[in-house]
Amino acid sequence: DSGVTQTPKHLITATGQRVTLRCSPRSGDLSVYWYQQSLDQGLQFLIQYYNGEERAKGNILERFSAQQFPDLHSELNLSSLELGDSALYFCASKERVNTGELFFGEGSRLTVL
């Protein structure tokens, strides 16, 4: 158990819909990262937050947005969903000072029909 909690574990929805994925980082970790894992793209970095502020942005679509709340949990919002958004979405957290190792949650598997 990495200590990172993600909900829901599975989600099935239709094209055009909107979903919210939730992540609670490990106790004491200030950084939260979101990654998307699809079959053809591998693990792609989406966005990072540190103590409530956006720190880095990767290949995140404009239809996607994220935020980190004062209690450090984070949400990834996916809107106007398309079939190609079907993927495993990971949240990860990192200690303030360490090797840079990320601790991953179990992921949220999104299926868009």
Q: Which of residues 47-76 bind other proteins (CB under 8 A)?
A: 48, 50, 55-56, 58
- Give the whole-angstrom CA distance, residue 19 versus residue 11: 9
Q: Which of 23, 33, 78, 112 binds other proteins (CB under 8 A)?
A: 33
Do residues 4 and 13 make contact, with C-beta atoms less than 8 angstroms apart? no
Picking from 1, 24, 6, the residue whose alpha carbon sits closest to that of residue 88 is 6
Tokens 């598997």, residue?
A: 109
Query: Please, which residue, 38 or 79, has the CB nearer to other proteins?
Result: 38
| Residue 99 within binding range of other proteins, rule CB under 8 A | yes
Query: Please, which residue, 89 or 112, has the CB nearer to other proteins?
Result: 89
Joined tokens for residue 6: 């993600």
- Where does this chain bind other proteins (CB under 8 A)? 2, 33, 42-43, 45, 48, 50, 55-56, 58, 88, 90, 92, 99-107, 109
